[in-house]
């Protein structure tokens, strides 16, 4: 009887509210909240957050890369501070100024130098935590645009966004990236983990030449089905603003979905369902990386399972499925 009563209560509640705002999308750490504990208390150096609001990021930091991460390299090159462009932008509602950077390609791979990755990071901390991934993408030969969501890193003020604000900010970030990109037609929207939500909004509103989702959160409904004890249809629990799989059900852009076989955050079935939801006539690829988990750096995500394989997956996808993203000889 208690189970029936609870179920009836939940069903009544979701008729007038959704659970979008109650789900833990944000685990951000603002620069004003950095302390000795956030910098030195974390035993994993990959997860230490050290930069205060007035401290510039070190784009040449020496990370404790795994040996297998650097399977084709001896090191990941530093990014020259003199080349980095501060690309901060004010939000459409005028309530926030978001921290963003444009990093031009090193130019050693001419066919990729005009291709800009618009990087949407995960839910933890802010850009500082994802600097190693920016370095990897830059090493491959791309230009990179990376931004921090409201309340993350150095974005001001220290207030996390509502869903509507987040989606509006994502659209504006894409337009800002276009202003800095050497070729505004060759933007590749990239969503890592929870970054799959703003990346989905970018990909839906575009235009862009392709989209990549790595270990990505793409469906509130799928996640609710996986983690909640009661079996209500997901459509009753979400307003749909975060449903990337629904948004892209009619996409015309080439799409790569890549995920580790050992990812414990998001199920393999979620990636497979996302792939199936994409139109059959759109160039698309689904790649599972053996042994890769969900994390960054020491936690062993897709890129950390082997730089060479990660690079090859991205570049092969663009050459074979999204040639409009590549400079043709």
Question: In this predicted model, what pLDDT tens digit does every residue of 60-97 receive, in sequence order?
Answer: 998 888 888 999 998 899 999 999 999 999 999 999 99
- Residue 326: Cβ within 10 Å count: 17
Band the pLDDT of 225: cuts 50, 70, 90.
low
Mean pLDDT of the chain: 88
Where do the domains of the chain lie?
2-325
Q: Angle formed by the axes of helices 268-277 and 220-227, to 10°?
A: 150
Amino acid 234: pLDDT? 40
> What is the fold of 2-325?
Rossmann fold (3.40.50)
Distance set, CA 155 to CA 160, 200, 288 (Å): 10, 21, 34
Query: What is the pTM for the complete model shown?
Result: 0.90
In the numeric block, the tokens 């935590």 are attached to 129
The string of DSSP letters for 218-266 reads --HHHHHHHH-SS---GGGT--STT-HHHHGGG--S-EEEEEETT-SSS
Q: Which of 139, 260, 251 shows the shortest CA–CA distance to 193?
A: 260
Total residues found in the chain within this entry: 329
Question: In this predicted model, what pLDDT tens digit does every residue of 107-147 receive, in sequence order?
Answer: 999 999 999 999 999 999 999 999 999 999 999 999 999 99
Question: In this predicted model, what pLDDT tens digit does every residue of 311-323 receive, in sequence order?
Answer: 999 999 999 999 9
CA–CA separation, 293 and 127 (whole Å)? 20
- Percent of the chain at pLDDT > 70 equals 87
Strands 85-86 and 100-103: antiparallel
The string of DSSP letters for 75-127 reads -PPPPPGGG-EE--EE-TTSS-EE-EEEE---SSSHHHHT-EEEEE--SEE-H
Q: What share of the chain is helix, strand, coil (3-state, %, to 5)?
A: 40, 15, 45
Instruction: Write down the number of H helices and E strands in the chain.
Output: 10, 12
Whether residue 11 has pLDDT greater than 90: no
Helix (H, G, I), strand (E, B) or coil at 216: coil
Q: Which of 237, 213, 207 shows the shortest CA–CA distance to 325?
A: 207
Tell me what the mean pLDDT of segment 207-232 comes to.
75
Helix (H, G, I), strand (E, B) or coil at 44: coil
CA–CA separation, 89 and 55 (whole Å)? 19
Beta partners for 153? Answer: 30
Strands 89-90 and 116-120: unpaired
CA–CA separation, 13 and 294 (whole Å)? 33
Helix (H, G, I), strand (E, B) or coil at 182: coil
Burial of 230 (0-12, 13-18, 19+ CB in 10 A): exposed
């Amino acid at each position: 009887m208690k189970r029936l009563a609870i179920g009836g209560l939940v069903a009544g509640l979701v008729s007038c509210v959704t659970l979008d705002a109650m789900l833990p999308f944000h685990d951000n750490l603002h620069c004003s909240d950095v302390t000795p504990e956030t910098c030195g208390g974390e035993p994993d150096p990959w997860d230490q957050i050290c930069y205060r609001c007035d401290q510039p990021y070190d784009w040449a930091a020496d990370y404790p890369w795994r040996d297998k991460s650097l399977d084709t390299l001896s090191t990941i090159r530093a990014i020259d501070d003199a080349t980095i462009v501060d690309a901060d932008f004010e939000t459409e509602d005028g309530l926030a100024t978001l921290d963003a950077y444009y990093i031009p390609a090193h130019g050693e791979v001419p066919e990729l130098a005009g291709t800009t990755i618009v990087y949407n990071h995960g839910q933890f901390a802010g850009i500082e935590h994802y600097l190693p991934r920016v370095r990897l993408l830059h090493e491959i030969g791309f230009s990179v645009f990376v931004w921090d969501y409201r309340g993350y890193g150095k974005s001001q003020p220290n207030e996390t966004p509502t869903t509507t604000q987040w989606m509006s900010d994502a659209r504006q970030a894409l337009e800002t990236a276009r202003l800095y990109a050497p070729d505004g037609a060759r933007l590749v929207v990239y969503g890592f983990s929870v970054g799959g939500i703003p990346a989905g909004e970018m990909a839906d509103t575009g235009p862009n030449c392709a989209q990549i989702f790595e270990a990505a959160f793409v469906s509130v409904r799928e996640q609710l089905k996986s983690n909640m004890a009661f079996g209500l249809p997901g459509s009753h629990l979400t307003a749909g603003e975060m449903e990337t799989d629904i948004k892209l059900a009619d996409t015309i852009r080439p799409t790569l979905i890549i995920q580790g076989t050992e990812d414990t955050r998001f199920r393999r079935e979620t990636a497979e369902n996302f792939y199936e939801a994409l139109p059959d006539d759109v160039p698309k690829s689904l790649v599972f990386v053996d042994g890769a988990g969900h994390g960054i750096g020491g936690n062993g995500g897709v890129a950390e399972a082997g730089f060479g394989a990660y690079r090859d997956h991205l570049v092969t996808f663009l050459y074979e499925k999204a040639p409009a993203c590549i400079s043709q000889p």
